[in-house]
């Protein structure tokens, strides 16, 4: 009996592990994406909006190596955060849920940086709403 349970448990874990990336991809595909361009003579852009439930927004900004990127988030719901991912990176270089709602980083390489704005899963599942103001800037 025991020799049948181990392969069954291993198969169940394999199926579970294989479905996790698809759920993550599906969430990312639901994000509304916007390219951020600064107005002539400006070094930042402020965007206001609303998220509800599992909605998210992605802001893409093209930066040069050596520039200093700043992102500041003000949101009406305390479960609202942002992450910043460098071009081609597999994981975020800044994670708002652990680092806060303000980022200032010198950009290591040129390319499109993505700012992912989202509500934590607990608030998203309850269908909560957040009004946000996010400012994305670059100097240097």
pLDDT digits (tens, 9 = 90+) for 39-81: 999 999 999 999 999 999 999 999 999 999 999 999 999 999 9
H or E stretch covering 130:
strand 129-139
| 63 Cβ contact partners less than 8 Å away, ≥ 6 residues apart | 69, 107, 110, 111, 113, 138
* Residue 6 CA from chain centroid, whole number: 38
How far are the Cα atoms of 54, 93, 102, 105, 107 from residue 131, in angstroms, in the given order? 14, 25, 17, 25, 28
Q: Is 101 left (phi over 0), alpha (psi -120 to 50) or beta?
A: alpha
pLDDT of residue 32: 86
pLDDT of residue 11: 46
In this predicted structure, the answer to whether residue 6 has a pLDDT above a threshold of 50 is: no
> Are 116 and 58 in contact, with CB atoms under 8 Å apart?
yes
pLDDT of residue 14: 44
pLDDT of residue 25: 34
pLDDT tier at 30 (50, 70, 90 boundaries)?
low
For the four alpha carbons of 107, 62, 26 and 55, in that order, the dihedral sign comes to positive
Say how many C-beta atoms besides its own lie within 10 A of residue 79's C-beta.
16
pLDDT of residue 18: 40
Q: Enter the pTM of the model.
A: 0.77
């Amino acid at each position: 009996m025991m020799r049948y349970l181990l392969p069954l448990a291993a198969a169940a874990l394999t199926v579970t592990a294989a479905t996790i990336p698809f759920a993550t991809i599906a969430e990312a595909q639901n994000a509304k994406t916007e390219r951020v361009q600064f107005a002539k003579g400006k070094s930042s852009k402020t965007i206001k909006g609303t998220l509800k439930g599992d909605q998210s927004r992605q802001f893409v900004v093209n930066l040069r190596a050596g520039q200093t990127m700043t992102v500041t988030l003000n949101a009406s719901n305390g479960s609202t955060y942002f992450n910043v991912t460098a071009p081609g990176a597999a994981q975020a270089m800044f994670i708002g849920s652990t680092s806060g709602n303000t980022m200032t980083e010198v950009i290591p390489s040129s390319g499109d940086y993505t700012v992912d704005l989202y509500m934590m899963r607990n608030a998203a599942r309850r269908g909560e709403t957040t009004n946000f103001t996010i400012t994305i800037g670059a100097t240097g």
